[in-house]
Amino acid sequence: MNDLIISHNKAEYPPMHTAEHVLNQTMHRFFACGRSFNAHIERKKSKCDYHLSTEPTPEQLEAVEAAVNAQIARNLEVRIAFVERSEIPAEVDLSKLPDYVDDRVRLVYVGDYDICACIGDHVRNTSEIGTFKIISSDYADGRLRLRFKLLE
């Protein structure tokens, strides 16, 4: 099933979308904040919003960027599996799934680092992503917005 691609209306840039998955897992591991609650993913630059009780320091954000790049550098295989809802691991958040999704759910695995229910297009290996760079951030009212891009 690795070759199966679901087509949908939203055109995505697979390297950026896969980088978002790595970023989301990294943010959750660093801050226990869960995945982004709002994201806008595009080829040139993207942004993700996270619920955080305090603003991260510049050093923490540098550590996030380094951790994302460390995972990308591991050349992780990205694979897709369709599973029954009853077989989905407990750590997979299903809250963003559209209502039309039935009992079989598409999961995207980024090596042993991340697993997420997702219909988007992805690279086959993190070696196809490039270098992840946080270009700016802002924090207000418990929301951290990260803007990022990929360097080739």
Q: What stretches in the chain show pLDDT beneath 70?
A: 1-11
At 72, the amino acid letter reads I
SS3 category, 133: strand
The per-residue pLDDT for 9 is: 40
Q: What is the pLDDT of residue 94?
A: 85
The pLDDT assigned to 100 comes to 76
User: Which residue, 49, 48, 44, is CA-closest to 15?
Assistant: 44
Residue range 50-67, pLDDT digits in tens: 999 999 999 999 999 999
Q: Which amino acid is at 8?
A: H
pLDDT of 1: 33
**Looking at residue 11, what is its pLDDT?**
62
Contact yes or no for 42/94 (Cβ under 8 A): no
- The confidence score (pLDDT) of residue 56 equals 98
Look at residue 134 and tell me if it is in a domain.
yes
Please report the pLDDT score of residue 85 as a whole number.
86
9 lies in some domain: no
DSSP per residue over 49-107, as a string?
Answer: EEE-SSPPPHHHHHHHHHHHHHHHTT--BEEEEEEEGGGS-TT---TT--TT--SEEEE
What is the total count of domains within the chain? 1
12-36 pLDDT, tens digit per residue, is 799 999 999 999 999 999 999 999 9
Q: Is residue 21 part of a domain?
A: yes
Task: Tell me whether residue 8 is in a domain.
Answer: no
User: pTM score, two decimals?
Assistant: 0.90
**Is residue 41, in this structure, part of any structural domain at all?**
yes
The reply to whether 139 falls in a domain is yes
The CATH number of the domain where 40 resides is what?
3.30.980.10
Please report whether residue 95 resides in a domain.
Answer: yes
In a domain, 1, yes or no: no
* Residue 136, domain extent: 14-151
